[in-house]
Amino acid sequence: MTSILLLSGPNLNLLGTREPAIYGTATLDDHVEHATSAAASFGATLHHLQSNHEGVLIEAIHAARGVDDAIIMNAGAFTHTSWAIHDALSAFEGVIVEVHLSNPAAREPFRHTSVLAPVAHGSIAGFGALSYVLGVQAVANLLGITQAP
């Protein structure tokens, strides 16, 4: 069975508690639930890890090698800074999709660069909760899964 790892970076555990104008009112658990349902509709399983620690995320990417078929990652602010996560993702042989709730390109200049985008197959940003579902659809498409079993 196709296995997808969903990774969430720093502060995403705070979703639903602050900044609703930017990130909406849904919690991270809500987004994971939607992504899990979307994956199931393609006959795939999805497991999730959130961490506020760069090293924990890097080790999760290493552990996914040879185990998971795809990584969907919202790296939070590490998106803009972490060459270490960039390098870890570059060693993952499966599909990589970057997702964001907001549209960083329309926000502060420091958010305009993603150091992870060059090692992802593609990036989805600005669609709120839909970004996660679109991320799963992108993975299914890239893996050649056209419909649920």
111 binding ligand CA2? (CB under 6 A): yes
User: Angle at CA 100, nearest 5°, toward 11 and 112?
Assistant: 95
Question: Could you report how far apart the first and last alpha carbons of the chain are, in Å?
Answer: 11
- In the chain, the largest separation of any two C-alpha atoms, in whole Å, equals 44
Among positions 4-43, residues that touch ligand CA2 (CB under 6 A) are 11-12, 14-15, 17-19, 23
Contact stretch for ligand CA2 (CB under 6 A) within 41-49, 50-58, 72-80, 86-94:
72-80
- The catalytic residue positions are 23, 100
- Is residue 102 within the footprint of ligand CA2 (CB under 6 A)? yes
Binding site for ligand CA2 (CB under 6 A): 11-12, 14-15, 17-19, 23, 74, 76-77, 79, 100-102, 104, 111
